Amino acid sequence: MTKKLIPTALAAAMLLAGCSLIPTYERPAAPVPTTYPGDPAQPAGQASASLPWQDFFADPRLAGLIQTALANNRDLRVSVLNIEQARAQFQIERSNLFPALGLTGNGSRSSPNSLQGVDGMGSVASQYSVNFGFTAWELDFFGRIRALKDQALSQYLATEETRKAVQISLIASVANGWLTLLADDELLELTRQTMVTRDESVRLTKMRFDNGVSSELDFQAANSLAETARAAYAQQQRARLQDENALALLLGAPVPPEATAGGAKGLDGIKPMPDVPAGLPSDLLAERPDIRAAEQQLIAANANIGAARANFFPRVSLTSGIGTASTEFSGLFDRGSKAWSFAPTVTLPIFDAGRNFATLNSAKAGREIAVAQYEKSVQTAFREVADALAGRATLGEQVRAQRAQADAEAVRFKLSDLRYRNGIASALDLLDAQRSLFTAQQSAVNVRLLQLQNQVTLYKTLGGGWATRDKG
């Protein structure tokens, strides 16, 4: 009859373990406007979050670099390993819901007097046992273990979202690094051309100076501009090498020469990236992995309150086993040596010097911190998208105007050179035209780079980059 009570008691305990003290979760209201500043016109197209990165970054040179980075980047590798660690921690917490079965063997020999039994004159008691069962299995009447399990689950899900955010950031960084290298090559070519032009001006000015047509002041001014171009060329070479090193770190491998080969047209020679619709700020809650990660951390903090509340209620644990027991080791498995045990334990907190109250207050404060962090992540995402949209609305006109200025300066330089050769204009006019042309050309390249990088940033800030196209 007693053996039948054990499974009945266990079943009843499982049925009773259905209480949860976790507060009802409610997503905080997004502390941002319902539309982006200026309410810009939205281009038609697929949302960034669902647009595979292969479709956005269509240039095969860049696609190859991104593939290399996804395979080799150490930050991304660490984020994947963090997922495995969080998954294991969740499984640990989940396992506490179930009894841990084990086989134990015990043996003891004792005597009432330590001096007895040495010479064989005293009595010695022996006891041997082998048991199969579980020890101190806590019955989760008030949901403490399930709250800890839910907390670990949310942290695991947050880690998965963090991996996606790391991938998004990595892809955008590789794209921006590659664009920077192309701009570096374009600036180097501009500087080479400028050096040739200024060396020609030095030669012409020196010839005029030797013939007494112009002063040494004109010659030294031309020579100064030529050396300025050489200094700029050395600086740009250094910047190009450093930018390549930065990209190699992201790739986890050297940058292949073909990644920037065939770029005679510079930034204008890449395959264009599509414009993507920004949608509404509320869309970011579902599309940005970093926001979803912050929300999962908030859910974990909310579950932690349930575990802290459960500390105020009794804990019931069971120890049970079935096996054999005998006073002689050789008689452990003889007939009539069967034994069983069933030992419930109830622990009721009475006085703990305020430990449980402090634990609960700490859990509540942790939830408020998680709320603030979630709201900050939403605000940061809104600001990043708004900045990228402002760039998209204005950089196109800036690029057009900057290129028009460079074209005008090129015409001005040709006219100034022609006038100088014919003795109509002074050397200062020619040198000023050279300086202005070089500055305008550099600015045009830099603004075009900024426009392309802004497209990458907008795709990233809208949550694009973690979706990938299925192979084949």
The stretch 374-384 carries a mean pLDDT of 96
Give the separation between CA 373 and CA 379, rounded to whole angstroms: 10
CA 447 to mean position of chain CA atoms: 28
Residue % of the chain over a pLDDT of 70: 90
Confidence of residue 329 (pLDDT cuts 50, 70, 90): low
Higher-pLDDT residue of 328, 321: 321
226-254 core/surface letters (b: 16 or more CB in 10 A; e: else): bebbeebbeebeeebeebbebbeebbbee
Residue 292 to residues 32, 79, 234, 353, 373, Cα–Cα distance (Å): 16, 16, 46, 38, 12
103 forms beta bridges with 132
Least confident of 65-69, 283-287, 359-363, 468-472: 468-472
The stretch 366-370 carries a mean pLDDT of 96
pTM of the predicted protein model:
0.86
pLDDT value, residue 114: 57
39-68, pLDDT tens digit by residue?
666 777 778 888 999 999 999 999 999 999
The stretch 3-14 carries a mean pLDDT of 48
Give the separation between CA 37 and CA 320, rounded to whole angstroms: 66
105-138, pLDDT tens digit by residue?
777 777 666 555 455 555 777 777 777 877 888 8
pLDDT value, residue 12: 47
Is 233 in contact with 188 (CB distance < 8 Å)? Answer: yes
pLDDT value, residue 5: 46
Confidence of residue 469 (pLDDT cuts 50, 70, 90): confident
